[in-house]
Amino acid sequence: MKSKDIQKLVLSKYENGDGPTKIFRDLNGTLSLPTIERWCKSIRDTGCINLSKPPGRPRTIRTNANIQKVKHRLERRRTVSSRKLSRELGISRTSVRRVLKNDLGLHAYKVQNEPMLTDEHKEKRIQFANWIRTNFRKEDTMKILFSDEKMFDIDGVYNSQNDRIWAVNRSEADMKGGTRQKRKFPQKVMIWLG
């Protein structure tokens, strides 16, 4: 229940003749008794519940201005860590993460590697699968040895642990560059097993 709804409920109960203690019991501890007493005093004095300012400590870091700064920084640079944002904006890492997750509703996604398949590769895979289905009996397919190979980069390895894309969901992350395509034949060493 929102604060405005609770205020309306307390106002209607007080106008119906309920006292602060009865209202407190009816709300099952949703509000503290001193708060209800303060609101009832405000109703007696002014006829409504007047809260001059929102309760609690005012925001000093997660202000609208800082939220917009973080948002604009992310629009300019798709991949940036919360640590770098923190350093650039002069805001603590925790506050930057709260802005990203709570205020902007974003989540950090890793850049995913995927094989670079052309339409020709996909067509050849379909042709091979159809050839196997037409030329082999089910028992014969159990005798086929499938092998696998692993390529190790000579040029170096991309560390996906360090690179994050801030987005609302995975599909948006993919549109912002969340997948990294690798060429099929760069300089590598191949290990083969069957």
Q: What is the pLDDT of residues 50-65, one digit of tens each?
A: 776 666 788 888 889 9
- In whole angstroms, what is the distance from residue 184 CA to residue 115 CA? 7
pLDDT greater than 70 at residue 172: yes
Backbone CA torsion sign across 149, 153, 157, 158: negative
Q: Can you give the residue ranges of every domain in the chain? A: 3-46, 64-105, 112-160+168-193
* CA of residue 22 relative to chain centroid, distance: 43
pLDDT greater than 70 at residue 160: no
Average pLDDT over every residue of 110-127: 88
Q: How confident is the model at residue 96 (pLDDT cuts 50, 70, 90)?
A: very high
Average pLDDT over every residue of 28-45: 86
pLDDT of amino acid 1: 52
Least confident of 71-80, 105-114, 160-169: 160-169
pLDDT of amino acid 12: 87
Which ranges constitute the DSSP H helices of 99-182?
119-135, 138-141, 170-175
Average pLDDT over every residue of 7-36: 86
Task: Note the maximum CA span of the chain.
Answer: 91
Model confidence pTM above 0.85: no
* CA of residue 156 relative to chain centroid, distance: 30
